[in-house]
């Protein structure tokens, strides 16, 4: 009710949505209670101006949230919601030191990201880029050649999942539907629910050696940075396929390119790479055994709406002094 003390107090709080493309649902939820501004651009310079004096920040860019952004916002900043499951772009120490609450968007994107992982796995296993090239170039064999364009089966294969979190588990579930033989995983510790499902906990070395398909679904941390390096590729099977839907920095990209070129491994499917956007002259684009998608794991209408809604609901909870729905542990 207009004029009530609570409404007046709430309406003075300001929120910046630091991305002009965020689904409307977020704006509607937030603007119902607070004063909301949407940045006119994703540009850091624009955000640095727009962020001044806000109480909450809706973040949906891969721009870093660091001291500079937090200083520009000012000491009244109470809540940040990042519309992403990953939060490697945020300086957690700085956020924590200022007592700011931080949320991300787990769970709501599990299915969409797992779908992209499947797309990459199937396309890499069945040599999709090469097949399409044959059609385009008129090199499609005229006679039935029983040995032409042979790929790999998921049925009967051993799967290795690096990081059996929510997304990793969704990928595993999809792969069981494709009749994978065995699911191995690695991470910090064995998960009881995975044991019940018959998944086997192994170390990274064993996972590299035994897997036909390796899925990277671990967050980017100091520990996971460059975990797939030359030594890792040397351990992989020759028919091994690497799928990365996490962050490009988990992989030493030069070592991956070398392994693919030398036929050390069969193929790779990447939704994430270095840099993003990828340089158009990148070697990755020239290799027939690489499938690439432009970091679109969560890019479906429903998923992006759900991510926007969850981010807004976290901000509402944070500004109301309530527990966040999906807090990032600080």
Just list the catalytic residues. 295
Among the listed residues 31, 86, 229, 264, the single contact to ligand DGY using CB under 6 A: 86
Of the listed pieces 14-22, 33-41, 84-92, 129-137, which binds ligand DGY according to CB under 6 A? 84-92
Q: Are 122 and 151 in contact (CB under 8 A)?
A: no
- Give the residue with the Cβ less far from ligand DGY, 152 or 246: 246
From candidates 84, 103, 110, 217, binder to ligand DGY by CB under 6 A: 84
Is residue 85 a contact residue for ligand DGY (CB under 6 A)? yes
Closer Cβ to ligand DGY, 170 or 298, answer by number = 298
Q: Smallest gap, in angstroms, from Cβ of residue 188 to ligand DGY?
A: 19
* Whether 218 contacts 101, CB under 8 Å: no
Give the closest residue to 236 by CA, choosing from 160, 148, 174, 307: 160
Binder to ligand DGY among 38, 61, 253, 298 (CB under 6 A)?
298
Helix ranges (DSSP H) in 152-295: 166-177, 192-196, 204-210, 230-235, 253-261
Number of residues that bind ligand DGY (CB under 6 A): 6
User: Interface mask (CB under 6 A) for ligand DGY, residues 248-287, using x and -?
Assistant: ----------------------------------------
Sort 318 into a burial class: Cβ within 10 Å, 0-12 / 13-18 / 19+.
buried
The Cα–Cα gap between 306 and 105 comes to 9
Give the three-state DSSP class for 268: strand
Tell the smallest beta-carbon distance from residue 303 to ligand DGY (Å): 9
Cβ 179 vs Cβ 154: under 8 Å: yes
Q: Which residues bind ligand DGY (CB under 6 A)?
A: 84-86, 109, 297-298
């Amino acid at each position: 009710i207009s004029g009530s003390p609570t409404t007046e107090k709430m309406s003075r709080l300001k929120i910046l949505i630091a991305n002009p493309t965020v689904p409307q649902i977020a704006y509607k939820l937030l603007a119902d209670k607070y004063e909301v501004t949407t940045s006119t651009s994703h540009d850091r310079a624009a955000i640095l101006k727009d962020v001044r004096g806000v109480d909450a920040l809706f973040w949906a860019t891969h721009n870093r949230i660091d001291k500079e952004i937090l200083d520009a916002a000012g000491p009244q900043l109470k809540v940040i919601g990042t519309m992403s499951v990953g939060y490697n772009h945020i300086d957690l120490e700085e956020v924590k030191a200022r007592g700011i609450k931080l949320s991300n968007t787990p769970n709501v994107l599990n299915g969409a990201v797992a779908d992209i992982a499947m797309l990459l796995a199937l396309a890499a296993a069945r040599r999709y880029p090469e097949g399409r090239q044959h059609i385009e170039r008129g090199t499609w064999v005229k006679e039935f050649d029983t040995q032409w364009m042979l790929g790999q089966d998921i049925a009967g294969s051993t799967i290795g999942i690096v990081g059996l979190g929510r997304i990793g588990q969704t990928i595993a579930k999809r792969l069981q539907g494709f009749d994978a033989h065995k699911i191995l995983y690695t991470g910090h510790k064995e998960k009881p629910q995975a044991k019940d499902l018959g998944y086997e906990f192994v170390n990274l070395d064993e996972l590299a050696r035994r897997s036909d398909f390796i899925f990277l679904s671990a967050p980017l941390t100091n520990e996971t940075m460059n975990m797939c390096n030359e030594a890792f590729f040397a351990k992989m099977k020759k028919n091994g396929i690497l799928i990365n839907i996490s962050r490009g920095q988990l992989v030493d990209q030069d070592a991956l390119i070398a392994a693919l070129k030398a036929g050390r491994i069969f193929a790779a499917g990447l939704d994430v790479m270095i840099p993003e956007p990828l340089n158009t002259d990148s070697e990755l684009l020239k290799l027939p055994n690489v499938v690439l998608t432009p970091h679109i794991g969560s890019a479906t209408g429903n998923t992006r709406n759900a991510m926007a809604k969850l981010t807004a609901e976290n901000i509402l909870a944070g500004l109301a002094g309530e527990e966040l729905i999906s807090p990032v542990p600080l």
